[in-house]
Each structure stands twice: as structure tokens, then as C-alpha cells.
Copies of this chain bind each other. A is one copy, B any other.
Amino acid sequence: MTLDLSVDRSSPVPLYFQLSQQLEAAIEHGTLTPGSLLGNEIELAARLGLSRPTVRQAIQSLVDKGLLVRRRGVGTQVVHSQVKRPLELSSLYDDLETAGQRPATKVIVNTVVPASAEVAAALGVAEDSDVHRVERLRLAHGEPMAYLCNFIPPGLLDLDTAQLESTGLYRLMRSAGITLHSARQSIGARAATAAEAERLAEEEGAPLLTMQRVTFDDTGRAVEFGTHTYRPTRYSFEFQLLVRP
């Protein structure tokens, strides 16, 4: 069947982006069935009144997302597998919200402390200089799910306790004009200490999932250092990986 594609040249949305969105919708919707060929680029460009580079740019963006596979001499195929979303720089809050769980946050600590050696190294600030320290308990359906301890360099954003309880840290940062760029993560496990067990309603010695993360903005500045502990019976890290060709 011929796909119903069209572009609006009067729109400020780039043409390649209009096309890639329509193709992605068609894949998502099942109009483009997995394994089917997309039809060659030249003909597609002619049909839409676009140039081949523009069509290629649209296709390439979907290849990067893992939705399409190109084969020279063959064509462009729709990957047929349950590709969800590749791993994003997401916050636990957003994860929970999209999963339909209603996340709640209880701010335990929201203060300014001198940076320890570890925090100073992670954030790239001087030792003993002031940094924000935020500790939060994240709940889902009223049950504790994770304990989040974060350090934030001063002057980046207002850390209002009420705001911290109503949304996630990443969302606050983005709305403060910070462009998140990359993060370095480490995921491990260890036995709960007595204090941790108490906070998360677990037993001492119970296995906990741990995550440490340093987040950088697009200037390379560290904007956040976090040490999180999760209840493994309530949470696990799920993500999709793509090979870089």
C-alpha cells in the first residue's frame, strides 16, 4: 500500500522533521509493517517534491533511533522488534509518571553544606565550598521506592522545597534554562545499613540497588551529583541499547 505522506512548506517545522515524524507515526501505528521496504529514496523524494538529501536526513534520524535499517543495494527496512526507547537521560520522577504510577516526593533535607572531597571531585568545585544538599524519599502508591541524595553547585537554580516535592530535579533544571547534555552513571548493589533499611521500610542487610550519577550540561559543567538507593523489589533499571554502527 502507498503511504500517505505530505509536507507543509509553509510550516516553520523543518521538512525532514515533518517527514521523519510521519514515518515514525506510521511505524508506531503499524501502517509500515516490520520488515517491509520503505521504497527507494529517489522515488520518495520525487513523490514528496523534496530533494534526496532532505529525505535521507529524515530517514537517517530514524535509523539513529533504531527504527530503520539501511542496506546498500537492498533498501531501507523497518526493524521488526519491540524497540521501545533507547536509554535517555531521564529522571526517576518522569519514569514513574510515564509508567502510570503517581510519584510522590518527601523532602527530608534541603540545605547548604561544605563539599566533601568526593562531592567536590564529582562536581569540580573546591573542597569545603558551599553546595546544596537535597535528600528526598520517592514514593509510589504511598510505598517508599527510593532514597535520593543529591548535591548541586550553588547559583544554578532555586531549590524550593515545595517545587522539589511536586516535580523532579531534572525538570526543575530544564525550566531553569540548564541544557542537560550527558551523565556518567554507575549502578551497583549492596546490603542495606540500619539507617537505610529504616528509611525504605526494609530490613537491615536486605539487598539494595544503588546508582551514582554525575550530570553535565552542554558546557561541560557538572550540574548534579547524586547517590541513590532503590528497593530492588520495587524498582529495576530497564532500557534499550543500540549498537553504534
Contact = CB atoms under 8 A, between A and B. Distances in A.
A194 interface: no
A191 B220 contact: no
Interface stretch (A94-102, A109-117, A151-159, A176-184): A176-184
A87 interface: yes
Interface in A212-245: 216, 218-222, 232, 235-244
Chain A's interface size range is 35 or more
A77 B220 CA distance: 10
Number of copies of this kind of chain in the complex: 2
A136 B222 CA distance: 39
A17 to B, nearest CB: 12
B87 A188 contact: no
B240 A184 contact: yes
A52 interface: no
A206 B208 CA distance: 11
A186 interface: yes
A168 interface: no
A187 interface: yes
Contacts of A199: none
A226 to B, nearest CB: 13
A108 interface: no
Interface stretch (A37-45, A78-86, A141-149): A78-86
Contacts of A242: 89, 181-182
A64 B66 contact: no
Given A79-B219, A88-B244, A186-B237, 6 more contacts: A34-B220, A79-B220, A87-B87, A183-B240, A188-B237, A206-B207
A35 interface: yes
A218 to B, nearest CB: 5
A187 B241 contact: no
Among A34, A53, A216, the most chain B Cβ lie within 10 Å of the Cβ of A216
A229 to B, nearest CB: 10
A220 B35 contact: yes
A62 to B, nearest CB: 12
B232 A83 contact: no
